[in-house]
Structures are given as structure tokens and as C-alpha cells.
């Protein structure tokens, strides 16, 4: 079975070479052909410009804070392209949101935890200087267990009762649960209305709000019902992280670390040096980590929006991780915690296969430990549990489980079913009792 190879970031390759990008690009994906069209080259080069902007350990310059100019990362999807605004105090800049509101009606979807913290601020940002806009809100219960049809219907109930028309805008204010659910509501209400994401967790700011995957859970499986639906913009106000619990913050860092491992060695090295600043919630360090994560995700999504190959590499550690989430019961381990343990297992398997060296495996363990994330699955997980849960993973094709594994120097991975199964058994036996 052929494997898909994810190389270091395409844009680095392009800009550092004067040779033909087509000849030199080491990415062997069907999706990569699209990348070589003229348009894609231009946009990837533009992304590269911002991606390579200096990575100061931490920028404390007062002028930066005073100007409050957002960093902008563009997600390049043709006529569905959109900006991600990143910075401190962005909810105090009404013009950023208001330029993406088309009609006069807005509905903010949030939850019982986030509403008391940020709903008033968001309503002000939507209405200040713009009295023609009226804002409704739906405040849902907080938790993954509420990401379901019943709460989706509450959004529709409120929208229909309020007679929202096709020119209305749905605004998701919260973490990934609210973003996924509100996005799916926006995708299906009147067959699709304007949608804005205001992510307030690290997980949502670096991952779930970008790329257009929306949906809800079914009692028989997570994220089983949904749609690809892109927002008009994503507004990341890094100040919202000040109220986030430590455990949630660390959970999001698992996805930040993932980007470094699969495609951005330089970013991983920056994280190794700056993890203490991230854990201390240093705003400049966070702004940089979010920007760089969004750039990586935006680039992958631009190349492979509907996950025909490359986008699957964003799931490093997720196959083992989903097995842990399912095995221990949803809500016991946070998504990022399960992904962290899953990443250690995927790295261990890559090492058993001889695809990476000892040092890289150690560095992964060290950085996850430093980020206060788990380094192994819970003791209750058995080999049998992993095998039976992973057998129904979405990435099984022709009876073979395809995994994202590291291969080569830091920043390289493969998405493949072509591996010696003994290595998988060795990893499972190393981490589980039976």
C-alpha cells in the first residue's frame, strides 16, 4: 500500500530554493498537484512570509501592545478564503467583527461558562457604533456530552422564533464544542448562513476553529454528523485565555506540539525553548504559538480541504488518542491529554519501525512532560481495548489501519497502512498490561 509523505513545510521549501518548486517539492500527495498551480504558489509564498517572521522568545515591546494591531493569517480557499485575526484586546475592536456582518441580525451561540465572561463584550463588539444590528443569544449547557442533536435544535428553535433570515450571522463564542455545534447550525440553517468563530480555548484557537470541520456527536460515535463549512472570519482574542483553567490550556498545547512534529521543525525547537512562557500564559509567546499553528493548519487545509490525504496528518496521535477517549469514557480525559498519550505511542511505534532516532523519541516525551501532559495511556487501557476500538477508526481502509507516524528527521511524517504489524503490537504491549 502506498504511503503519503508529509515533508517539512512546503513554503519553506519553495522560498528557500530558486529551482523549480515542482521538481523540488518532496510532498507526494495527490493534493500536492493542486499546490503547484500558480495561485497556490502565490498564496503559499505569502503564508511563508508571515510564517518566517522572527520568532522572538517573547516580544514585550510596548508599541506592539499599544497598537493592538492584529496578526492576520489568511486561509486560502478561493472564494471561501477568510482571515484569522490574532491578538490581545481584539474584542475591544468592533470594526474587526463588524466588517464581516452582512445583514442586521446576529445570533451568538455560547455556553453557561463562557457567557458570563465574554457575552456582553461580544455583543458590544457587534453593536458599538452600529445600532442597526440586533443580537440574539443562545446559552447552551457546558460539556462534550451536550454536543448533540437536542442542543443543535435549541439553536434552530431560537433562530426560527426570532425569524432570522438568510442574511443573518451565526457567531460561535466558546471552545471547540460550541464552535463545532454553531458551525454545523450555520451550515444547515436555511441551507447555510454567514458564520463567525470567536474561539476562547487554546484547542479552539490553534485547531478547531480553523479549517471548516463542523458537527455534533451521535450516541454511537463522536463527530459522526457534520459538514465542512468555512467561516467568514475567525477572531482570536488572546486575552480570553486568562480565564481558561490550567488543564484546558495544557490540553490545547498537545495540538501545538503536533504541528511542530508533523511539519515544522523550527516551530518545535521554538516550543522547546519557550514552554515555560506558554505555561505562564505570556501573551506574546501565545500570540506567536497561535499564529504559527494557524499558519500550519491553514496551509494544510488550503491543500487538502476535504481530507483526501495530507489533512489526515493533522491526526498524529489521534487514533491511539480516540481509543483512549472512548475506552475511559468521554469527559474523563480531555482531548489534548488523550492526543498527548497517543502521540507518545505513535512516536514509540515509529521508533520500533526504525523510522526515527532515539533522540527524537526522547524529545517528544520531554516536551509533553514539560507541557504537563500525559506520557502514557491510563492503566485501565488494555491491548484488546485499543485493538477493538481502533478497528472501527475512520482511517481503516481495506481492512488495514492507516496511521500517522513520524519518519526521518524532526518535522516529517507519513500517513500509511504500510508498516510491519509487529511494531504496532510491540507498542501496545509496551504501554498496556494485556
Ligand X SMILES: NC(=O)c1ccc[n+]([C@@H]2O[C@H](COP(=O)([O-])OP(=O)(O)OC[C@H]3O[C@@H](n4cnc5c(N)ncnc54)[C@H](O)[C@@H]3O)[C@@H](O)[C@H]2O)c1
Q: Looking at 71, 169, 194, 208, which residue binds ligand X (CB under 6 A)?
A: 208
* Catalytic position from the list 9, 263, 291, 322: 322
Residue 177, interface with ligand X (CB under 6 A)? yes
Residue 364, interface with ligand X (CB under 6 A)? no
∠ CA(352), CA(356), CA(358), 5° rounding? Answer: 80
Q: How far is the CB of 329 from ligand X (least distance, A)?
A: 15
Q: Tell me how many residues contact ligand X (CB under 6 A).
A: 28
User: Would strands 396-397 and 105-111 be described as parallel, antiparallel, or unpaired?
Assistant: unpaired
Residue 147, interface with ligand X (CB under 6 A)? yes
What's the CA gap between 33 and 25, in Å, rounded?
10
* Catalytic position from the list 163, 191, 379, 433: 191
| DSSP state string for 312-378 | GGGGTTHHHHHHHHHHH-BTTB-HHHHHHHHHHHHHHHHHHTTSS-HHHHHHHHHHHHHTT--SS--
Residue 174, interface with ligand X (CB under 6 A)? yes
Residue 169, interface with ligand X (CB under 6 A)? no
Residue 269, interface with ligand X (CB under 6 A)? no
What's the CA gap between 119 and 107, in Å, rounded?
11
What's the CA gap between 384 and 432, in Å, rounded?
9
Task: Identify whether 191 is a catalytic site residue.
Answer: yes
Nearer to ligand X, 308 or 362 (CB): 308
* Catalytic position from the list 10, 48, 147, 213: 213
Task: Identify whether 311 is a catalytic site residue.
Answer: yes
What's the CA gap between 122 and 137, in Å, rounded?
11
Task: Identify whether 60 is a catalytic site residue.
Answer: no
Q: Looking at 335, 363, 395, 402, which residue binds ligand X (CB under 6 A)?
A: 335
Q: How far is the CB of 358 from ligand X (least distance, A)?
A: 31
Q: How far is CA 140 from CA 136, 177, 398, in A?
A: 13, 10, 40
Residue 283, interface with ligand X (CB under 6 A)? no
Q: How many helices (H) and strands (E) does the chain have?
A: 18, 14
Task: Identify whether 372 is a catalytic site residue.
Answer: no
Residue 144, interface with ligand X (CB under 6 A)? yes
Q: Looking at 203, 294, 316, 390, which residue binds ligand X (CB under 6 A)?
A: 203
Confirm if 249 and 234 have CB atoms less than 8 A apart: no
Q: Which residues of 254-267 are buried (b: 16+ CB within 10 A; e: fewer)?
A: bbbbbbbbbbbbbb
Task: Identify whether 318 is a catalytic site residue.
Answer: yes
Q: How far is CA 405 from CA 7, 225, 382, 413, 423, in A?
A: 12, 27, 21, 6, 12
Residue 238, interface with ligand X (CB under 6 A)? no
Confirm if 265 and 8 have CB atoms less than 8 A apart: yes
Residue sitting closest to ligand X (CB): 176
Residue 319, interface with ligand X (CB under 6 A)? no
Task: Identify whether 322 is a catalytic site residue.
Answer: yes
Nearer to ligand X, 325 or 348 (CB): 325
- Other beta carbons within 10 angstroms of residue 92's beta carbon come to 14
Q: How far is the CB of 336 from ligand X (least distance, A)?
A: 7
Q: Give the three-state DSSP class for 66.
A: helix
What's the CA gap between 115 and 384, in Å, rounded?
42
Residue 244, interface with ligand X (CB under 6 A)? yes
User: Would strands 105-111 and 169-174 be described as parallel, antiparallel, or unpaired?
Assistant: parallel
Please report where in the chains the cell 517573547 appears, as a residue: 58
* Catalytic position from the list 40, 194, 255, 325: 255
| 85-124 footprint of ligand X as x/- string (CB under 6 A) | --------------------------x-xx--x-------
Nearer to ligand X, 184 or 419 (CB): 184
User: Which residues are part of the catalytic machinery?
Assistant: 191, 213, 255, 297, 307, 311, 315, 318, 322, 335
Residue numbers of the site for ligand X (CB under 6 A)? 111, 113-114, 117, 142, 144, 147, 174-178, 180, 200-201, 203-204, 207-208, 211, 213, 223, 240, 243-244, 248, 251, 335
Amino acid at each position: 500500500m502506498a504511503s503519503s509523505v508529509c515533508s517539512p513545510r512546503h513554503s519553506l521549501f519553495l522560498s528557500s530554493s530558486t529551482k523549480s518548486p515542482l521538481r523540488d517539492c518532496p510532498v507526494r500527495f495527490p493534493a500536492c498537484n493542486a499546490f503547484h498551480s500558480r495561485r497556490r504558489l502565490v498564496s503559499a509564498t505569502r503564508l511563508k512570509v508571515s510564517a518566517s517572521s522572527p520568532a522572538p522568545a517573547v516580544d514585550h515591546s510596548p508599541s506592539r501592545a499599544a497598537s493592538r494591531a492584529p496578526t492576520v493569517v489568511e486561509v486560502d480557499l478561493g472564494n471561501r478564503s477568510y482571515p484569522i485575526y490574532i491578538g490581545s484586546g481584539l474584542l475591544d475592536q468592533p470594526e474587526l467583527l463588524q466588517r464581516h456582518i452582512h445583514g442586521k441580525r446576529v445570533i451568538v451561540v455560547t455556553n453557561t461558562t463562557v457567557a458570563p465572561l465574554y457575552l456582553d463584550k461580544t455583543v458590544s463588539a457587534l453593536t458599538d457604533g452600529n445600532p442597526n444590528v440586533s443580537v440574539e443569544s443562545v446559552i447552551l449547557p457546558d460539556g462534550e456530552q451536550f454536543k448533540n442533536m437536542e442542543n443543535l435544535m435549541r439553536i434552530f428553535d431560537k433562530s426560527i422564533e426570532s425569524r432570522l433570515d438568510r442574511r443573518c450571522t451565526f457567531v460561535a463564542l466558546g471552545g471547540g464544542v460550541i464552535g463545532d455545534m454553531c458551525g454545523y447550525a450555520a451550515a444547515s440553517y436555511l441551507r447555510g448562513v454567514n458564520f463567525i468563530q470567536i474561539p476562547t480555548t487554546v484547542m479552539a484557537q490553534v485547531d478547531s476553529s480553523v479549517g471548516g470541520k463542523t458537527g455534533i456527536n451521535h450516541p454511537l460515535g463522536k463527530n459522526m454528523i457534520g459538514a465542512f463549512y468555512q467561516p467568514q472570519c475567525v477572531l482570536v482574542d488572546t486575552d480570553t485565555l486568562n480565564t481558561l483553567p490550567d488543564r484546558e490550556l495544557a490540553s490545547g498545547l498537545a495540538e501545538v506540539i503536533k504541528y511542530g512534529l508533523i511539519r515544522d521543525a523550527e516551530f518545535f525547537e521554538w516550543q522547546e525553548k519557550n514552554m515555560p512562557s506558554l505555561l505562564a500564559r505570556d501573551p506574546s509567546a501565545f500570540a506567536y504559538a497561535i499564529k504559527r499553528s494557524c499558519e500550519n493548519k491553514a496551509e494544510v487545509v488550503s491543500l487538502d480541504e476535504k481530507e483526501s490525504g495530507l489533512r489526515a496528518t493533522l491526526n498524529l496521535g489521534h487514533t491511539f488518542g480516540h481509543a483512549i477517549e472512548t475506552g475511559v469514557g468521554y469527559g474523563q480525559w480531555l482531548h489534548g491529554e488523550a492526543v498527548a498519550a497517543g502521540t507518545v505511542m505513535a512516536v514509540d511505534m515509529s521508533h520500533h519501525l526504525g523510522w526515527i532516532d532515539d533522540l527524537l523519541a526522547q524529545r517528544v516525551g520531554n516536551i509533553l512532560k514539560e507541557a504537563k501532559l500525559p506520557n502514557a495511556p491510563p492503566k485501565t487501557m488494555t491491548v484488546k481495548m485499543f485493538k477493538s476500538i481502533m478497528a472501527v477508526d475512520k482511517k481503516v481502509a481495506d481492512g488495514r489501519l492507516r496511521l500517522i507516524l513520524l519518519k526521518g528527521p524532526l518535522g516529517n511524517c507519513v500517513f500509511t497502512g504500510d508498516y510491519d504489524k509487529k511494531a504496532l503490537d510491540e507498542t501496545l504491549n509496551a504501554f498496556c498490561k494485556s
